Amino acid sequence: MANMLHLSSKRAAFFVGTIMYALAFSFVTVSGRPATFVQDFRVTWSDSHIRQIDGGTAIQLTLDRNSGCGFASKNQYLFGSFSVKIKLIPGDSAGTVTAFYMNSDTNYVRDELDFEFLGNRSGQPTTVQTNVYVNGKGSREQRINLWFDPSIGFHTYTVRWTQENIIYYVDDVPIRVFKNNEAIGIPYPKRQPMGVFSTLWNADDWATRGGLEKIDWSKAPFYTYYKDFDVDGCVVPGPAACASNPNNWWEGPNYRGLTPLEARKYHWVRANHMIYDYCTDRSRFPVAPPECLAGI
């Protein structure tokens, strides 16, 4: 059984050249096949509100008065890189939430890595909220106002999850880094495999201005579009050696932290576009959480 699944073709050439090297480490690589919704994902709720387009390589999610909808990957993964191109709801989307996230699906002890795109009134910037759950504990919200209109075209959103860190990217801009600080007693998600999930739903009790702005149902239905799924990680169940293999590309020396250019982009976006950071919210945390003091 293959222990790594490569759902986009962008790395196909690399793996053609290195397949014999990979086999020497006793694992098989599946590469070069573009993801299609029916092969690689499943509907988790309201299949009538999810429509395949472009031969199944892209999908449309719908939210109306009756329902939102959601989907998930058929596999779970332990470490890797997970991305998708999304075009968000245009115009007045207040009260809606589009979520793209990793989840261990283990209830009260779940691990989860979130992108949540919070709807807005027309003309206002779109806010993306990230969160990190470890062993069922979250409350690590950070919010960034996007510096572009994400409803005009597709943009790439990526979670890169390694033994060393978790990095959230918007296109090629890292907006959040959560480091593995287990050495000083800070929990880090590394034991539970996670699936890839996405939902479009009514969250007007909290999503826009703390719930003050409600969904304008006269603007419904609302649509979000997805394409170019790229899931590159160790499938679980699968050979146990995959997750700890130092030759996985995402564990390589170039991915153990931010490059100098990425670091500049990271500091730029957080200096100019961050609007909330749980680390500095003394009303919630009179003493900063330990990961904030350790550096994230």
Catalytic residue positions, numbered: 112, 116
Question: DSSP state, 206?
Answer: T
- Which residues, at least 6 apart from 241, have a Cβ–Cβ distance to it below 8 Å? 3, 25, 26, 27
- Residues 2, 235 contacting (CB under 8 angstroms): yes
Determine how β-strand 142-145 pairs with β-strand 274-277.
Answer: antiparallel
CA 289 – CA 137 distance, rounded (Å):
12
CA 106 – CA 110 distance, rounded (Å):
5
In b/e form, how buried is each residue of 82-113, taking b as 16+ CB within 10 angstroms? bbbbbbbbeebbbbbbbbbbbbbeeeeebbbb
Report the chain's C-alpha Rg in angstroms: 19
Question: DSSP state, 36?
Answer: -
Secondary structure of residue 71 in the 3-state scheme: strand
Q: What is the number of alpha carbons within 13 Å of residue 9 lying toward its C-beta? A: 4
How crowded is residue 183: how many other Cβ atoms within 10 Å of its Cβ? 8
- Give bridge partners of residue 276 from the DSSP assignment: 143
Among 208, 202, 61, 49, smallest CA distance to 122 is for: 208
